[in-house]
Amino acid sequence: MTRTNDTSAFPSINSSAARHRHRVNWHEAAACAIEIELRDYADLLQFLTEYILGRNSYRIDLLVIRKVSDCTIPKNIARIFRAYNIFELKGIHSSLTANAYYKTIGYAGILVDQLSNAGSERYTSLDVSITFLTFRYPRKLMKHLTVERYLTVEKTSKGVYHISIETFDVQIIVTHELPPEDNLYLCCMTNDLKDRGLIKRLTDDYTSHQGQDVYRKYMNQLAAANMKTEGESPMICEGILNLCGTSSEEIIAKTKKESDDYYLPKIDELTAANEQLASSVKLLSSQLVHLQELLRQNNISFD
């Protein structure tokens, strides 16, 4: 039964670019790249970024919903797709750890429970897939999965690793290993974009789609990530810069705004959590002092 489901000349960039490079929103760039890679199946898919699980503060980086359950998505990064597809996205400076792996497994379980409680239909782990997108091959995690948990890791295609006998259907995508002919936007997601052939292909493709918001967001992040200070080796093609804005200052301003929109709410959440923790520590310290005083009054050793 078919089921329906809910970036010959390079510019010199001033030093302000370097101060903002660490604020590149790789999560946004990756989410946009995935949506672009799957554009041929846009009518079959729905993309939800920063998806919040129920009333909890848990967030899924990207949730891709397959609108029709019996449709086939033959793209290399989507062959394991189920009805609901979770993406855990890692920036180029982050590593995929066992903690992140199991956290996402837990999120998938919460999602199944949430879906089942939302309606009359019953959902299971068979309705959810998990994809981890990482720049580097996660050697420690792979060793843990194969040696300690006896799971099977199969390289199904360049850069795509499938984890067998797991609770959910799981794959790990290493963007650095993906074939550019199949995954142009994911392959270009780096702060060291030197390949002129890739740059030309990217600019040619972007020119045809630059009116679409998802392409603009991706290219803004990519352009900002590849800007270098004066004296460093130039990495960003003038053609890309001109496509994204008329000057490096405009690119920096756009990227700073989009990064602030992403990072500042997270900073606020952490600040609130730290304030609550400090209050709890203060209360516990006060209670400890009171307990010590009671023990002293009754000639009982605290040790």
Q: pLDDT tens digits, residue range 124-141?
A: 999 999 999 999 999 999
Query: Mean pLDDT across the stretch 10-24?
Result: 45
* Residue among 122, 120, 4 at smallest CA distance from 69: 4
Residue scoring higher pLDDT (185 or 15): 185
**What is the rounded end-to-end Cα distance, in angstroms, of the chain?**
67
Break the chain down into helix, strand, coil percent, rounded to 5: 50, 15, 35
The token pair at 201 is 């292909």
Q: Is pLDDT of 276 > 90?
A: no
State pTM to two decimals: 0.73
**167-176, 203-212, 255-264: which is most confident:** 167-176
Residue scoring higher pLDDT (104 or 243): 104
Q: Is pLDDT of 220 > 80?
A: yes
Lowest-pLDDT range of 55-59, 150-154, 187-191: 55-59
Q: Is pLDDT of 278 > 80?
A: no
The predicted structure's pLDDT at residue 245: 52
The predicted structure's pLDDT at residue 19: 43
Query: Mean pLDDT across the stretch 272-283?
Result: 70
User: Which single residue is written with the structure tokens 């086939």?
Assistant: 72
| Cα–Cα dist 16/133, whole Å | 30
Query: Mean pLDDT across the stretch 77-104?
Result: 95
| Cα–Cα dist 14/18, whole Å | 8
